[in-house]
Amino acid sequence: MQQQETIAEVISDLVKINNDRMEGYQQSMDATDDVDLKALFQRMIDDSRRYASQLYDELVALGEQRRFGTTAAGKLYRTWMEIKTAFTGHDRHAILSFCEYGEDAAQRAYSAALRSDTPMSYRLRELIADQQKSLRNDHDIIKTYRDVQRIVY
């Protein structure tokens, strides 16, 4: 029973990270008028919605209640971003830096889940690894956009 609760906690943390990611990208969409960024951010929201749904399904398979919400750190960072945006305006580089920070947090959470001593089924470990790989690709896209923006200014 303890092992199942630990697995559920690992999965729940990943759900929360994806919820943080959705809220962060929604906030970023609201902070920009750039059509290309809005489209990119919407795709990333859709991806995280799909990842969270897959993880919810794993929780249900374990007999756990669906867990919603975001992390405290994510909430604090989004609040800080709101304040920063109020002072810096809708600066493209600042928005992309905010997004990269969120992608870094997602990578740390997924790496921690995969390094966990908690025994997981191969299928669950593969799901988490596949999601992390996709998120790493998104991180690299955001970083490239941010780096290009730094060069432009």
pLDDT tens-digit map of 6-32: 899 999 999 999 999 999 999 999 989
Q: What is the share, in percent, of the chain residues with pLDDT greater than 90? A: 61
Query: Burial, 34: exposed, middle or buried (Cβ in 10 Å; 0-12, 13-18, 19+)?
Result: middle
Residue type, 104: D
Residue bearing the bigger pLDDT, 2 or 112:
112
Domains, the chain, ranges and CATH? 2-152 (1.20.1260.10)
- The least confident of 56-65, 87-96, 131-140 is 87-96
Q: Tell me the C-alpha distance between 83 and 101, whole Å.
A: 16
Long-range (24+ apart) CB contacts under 8 A made by 31-39 are 31/81, 31/85, 31/90, 31/95, 32/90, 32/92, 32/95, 33/90, 34/92, 37/92, 37/95, 37/96, 37/145
pTM exceeds 0.75? yes
